[in-house]
Amino acid sequence: MHENDIVTLDIEKFSNLGYGIAKVDGYVIFVEGACPGDIVSAKITKANKNFAQAKTLEVLTPSKNRVEPFCPMQKVCGACQLQFIDYDYQLELKRQIVEDAIRTIGGLDAEIPKPIASPEIKNYRHKIQYPVSETKVSKRILAGYYKPQTHEIVNLKHCPIQPEICDKVMDFIREHAFDFGISGFNEKKHSGDLRHVVIRSSADSGRLLVTLVVNATKTFERLNKFAKAIFDEFDEVSGVCVNFNSKKTNVILGKKSECIAGVDFIEEKLLEKTFKIGPNTFFQVNPKSAENIFKYVKDFIRKNYKKPLVLDAYAGISTFGICVSDTAEKVVTVEENPESCEQARESLKINKVKNVEIHNSDAAEFFKNEKRRFDLTIIDPPRKGCSEESLNEVFRLTKGHIVYVSCNPATLARDLKILITKGCRVESIQPFDMFCHTYHVENVAIIKVPQ
Ligand SMILES: C[S@@+](CC[C@H](N)C(=O)[O-])C[C@H]1O[C@@H](n2cnc3c(N)ncnc32)[C@H](O)[C@@H]1O
């Protein structure tokens, strides 16, 4: 098999990165834009010794699970790889992704249930991060998601998985940046002003927080005027912030933000608790689906514990901690981002919660120095999962259950294997669909620690 070969492929399975998998004489080919059950004509884009990558050119026989994508840009935009697959079958494919990871990486012979569906499969994404560039000649702003495997921006005028108001704000930015002398970023030359636009919107109130990520270390007059113009244009916008990121990096946000107009937060409601979300604080992209997860964890605690001492690690704005606080004697939360801890403290005041203790620290450092033992520990680390050292500490600190919330089935499986070797038992793994139409899947694993 060679690059540029055109081949007919029978798609048998689905990969953890959302590709169809075909085999030719045992040789594995990962096919973009293909669904199990399809027969496709595809072009080989890369051929290695052990496997190849290919792109679907034509669907010769469609799988019964193919549907017409509801977004006309689906084929060119890299955001919703799976939108051409029936939503219910997307869930089944995600179930298989989790089961495969848990069996092959985790060595656990577990049957994984179907993910709990997202309450909304359109307009569900409440965090928008558009990279920005500009056209060569007319210097008009381009903003949208990248084409798959490129840094080429698809100038998205409408995105049906986001609240509609976000399209309007982005249109205003596209139309008026030039008038205010704001240029789009040129990644190759590392020049220009505006690198990204990040919009957070509240599923509860519909209010927006707009953050302009700029290639600068401090704000400047044209930028201030532009930020104020965005704020004045939209009643729904609670605040416009600028974030400074002048580094040569793919990381979107720099460490420092400044509020230029309005306020530097929006409020979101989860399980009847109010949370403040700022420009630099982590918050789940799909609040309605996240609420299902918080409820699931809270119900587990309520059914199995009477007023436990709970540790919530990698806590963000202490979302788990505050949501489960009324079932617990006390919750201790640990998070490394100082702004998230600040917002969490504000949320304690708003919700009149008195039994949550917030620590701004690296989790591993906190674990090492902590003397208390907890009835239950919730860990919700970033995609890379936990270090073995941290898992050892969590094991030492926990008397009853570890609730492991994960957005990466592979690192979850790896970490479960480590916990199992220490005598832990995985009682259940429940996937949740937070990121509809993408291959991403969130999981909650309930793990019993031996007495
Ligand atoms: C997946 S988020 C989960 C946040 C929160 N549990 C929620 O549901 O909103 C992971 C969080 O871990 C934090 N984090 C990453 N590395 C950390 C570390 N070494 N120590 C403490 N917190 C960390 C990040 O800042 C982020 O807020």
CATH number at residue 34: 2.40.50.140
Residues 152 and 252 in one domain: yes
108 and 131 assigned to the same domain: no
The answer as to whether 77 is a domain residue is no
Residues 237 and 384 in one domain: no
The CATH number assigned to the domain holding 416 equals 3.40.50.150
Residue 88 is assigned to a structural domain of this protein: no
Q: What is the pLDDT of residue 97?
A: 97
- Our answer on whether the CB atom of 314 is closer than 6 Å to any ligand 1 atom is yes
- Residue of the CA atom closest to atom 4 of ligand 1: 316
Q: What is the pLDDT of residue 78?
A: 83
Q: Is 307 found in the same domain as 413? A: yes
Picking from 23, 43, 66, the residue at the C-terminal end of a domain is 66
* Residue 79 located in a structural domain: no
Strand order in the sheet with 309-313: 356-360, 330-335, 309-313, 374-379, 398-406, 442-448, 425-432
Inside any domain, residue 93: no
* Contact by Cβ (8 Å): 282, 405: no
**140 and 114 in a common domain:** no
Q: Are residues 150 and 197 in the same domain?
A: yes
pLDDT at 148: 84
Is 311 contained in some domain? yes
pTM score of the predicted model: 0.94
Predicted pLDDT of residue 136: 87
Are 153 and 112 found together in one domain?
Answer: no
Residue nearest to atom 25 of ligand 1 (CA): 337
Q: What is the CATH number of the domain that holds 255?
A: 2.40.50.1070
Whether residues 19 and 36 share a domain: the answer is yes
Could you say which of 270, 300, 320 is where a domain stops? 270
pLDDT in the model for residue 346: 96
> Is 279 contained in some domain?
no
**Does the CB atom of residue 294 touch ligand 1 within 6 A?**
no
Same structural domain for residues 213 and 166? yes
123: its two tokens:
């307009």
Strand ranges for 48-124 from DSSP E: 51-61
Buried residues in 125-147 as b, exposed as e (16+ CB within 10 A): bbbbbbbbbbeeeeeebbbbbee
Does residue 105 share a domain with residue 30?
no
Give me the torsion for CA of 14, 19, 24, 27, rounded to 10°: -100
Query: pLDDT in tens for each of the 451 residues of the chain?
Result: 899 999 999 999 999 999 999 999 999 999 999 999 999 999 999 999 999 999 999 999 999 999 999 999 998 888 999 999 999 999 999 999 999 999 999 999 999 999 999 999 999 999 999 999 999 888 899 999 998 888 999 999 999 999 999 999 999 999 999 999 999 999 999 999 999 999 999 999 999 999 999 999 999 999 999 999 999 999 999 999 999 999 999 899 999 999 999 999 999 999 999 999 999 999 999 999 999 999 999 999 999 999 999 999 999 999 999 999 999 999 999 999 999 999 999 999 999 999 999 999 999 999 999 999 999 999 999 999 999 999 999 999 999 999 999 999 999 999 999 999 999 999 999 999 999 999 999 999 999 999 8
Asked whether residue 206 is domain-assigned, the answer is yes
Residue numbers of the domain that contains 234: 127-270
Together in a domain, 213 and 321: no
CA of 147 to the centre of ligand 1 (A): 28
The answer to whether 242 and 258 have CB atoms below 8 angstroms apart is: yes
Nearest atom in ligand 1 to 407's CA: 1
Q: Is there a catalytic annotation at residue 407?
A: yes
Last residue of a domain, one of 222, 246, 270: 270
Total domains in the fold of the chain? 3
Domain-embedded: residue 75: no
Statement to judge: residues 328 and 410 lie in one domain:
yes
